[in-house]
Amino acid sequence: MKYTKSARTAHLHRLARELNMSFSETDDWGLMPLLDEFRLFRKGRRRKISNILHSVDDFLELNISIFDYEYTTGKNRERNRKRQTVFFFRSRALGLPEMYMKPERFFNRIASYLTLQQDIDFEEFPKFSKQYLLQGEDEDYVRYTMNKDVLTFFTKEKGWTLEAINFFLMFHHQGKILKPWEIKRLLKKGMKLHEMLKYEKR
């Protein structure tokens, strides 16, 4: 049976109740203006956020949003609608450099070798450095932020794209819509990552 958009919305609404989170089918929390600085949200056209699971802690210090994001690339017969599930949080406990991380491809390695493209590597974590392209204007602060726990986490967790700016951080699997049970796991991973990235823990 085809898994329709309406069925997904209903399943995620139930999941939100199970996780004690708020739910909105559309961007009622005004997230889009907060996301304009991220690379993902500058791609394509007809950008849309939907199926938002949202929570705020008792002290209003941590805002969590998990949502479906889609946009269109190309034109006419080459037109393609891309969709992915995104984890986004705003936290007063963070103080992150502006950085961008994505799975490293063969052409990225060649470009880095030819010094045509920045790639911050870690000698102590060769597997991480092989798996991911990591960039940021303040390299020293990026290295300070990507502590041992974070590097170990992403060495085991493959295929993620991450973007960070100050109090804001988002990560996702490019082009992958997660099933409800996968979103429950995503929430746990996101909370674990937040704990590792807290400024006081570095």
Q: What is the pLDDT of residues 11-30, one digit of tens each?
A: 999 999 999 999 999 998 88
Closest-CA residue to 83 (of 36, 44, 129, 138): 44
Is the model's pLDDT at 173 over the cut of 90? yes
- Give the pLDDT score at 2: 52
Is the model's pLDDT at 164 over the cut of 50? yes
**Residue 84, both tokens:** 């992915």
Q: Are 94 and 167 in contact (CB under 8 A)?
A: yes
Cα dist from 202 to 72, 121, 170, whole Å: 39, 19, 19
- Give the pLDDT score at 44: 84
To the nearest whole number, what is the mean pLDDT of the chain? 90
Q: How far is CA 142 from the centre of its chain?
A: 17
Q: What does the alpha-carbon distance between residue 181 and residue 178 come to, in Å, rounded to a whole number?
A: 8
Is the model's pLDDT at 48 over the cut of 50? yes
- Give the pLDDT score at 78: 74
Q: What does the alpha-carbon distance between residue 47 and residue 178 come to, in Å, rounded to a whole number?
A: 18
Is the model's pLDDT at 97 over the cut of 60? yes
Band (1; pLDDT cuts 50, 70, 90):
very low
Is the model's pLDDT at 49 over the cut of 80? yes
* DSSP single-letter state for residue 55: E
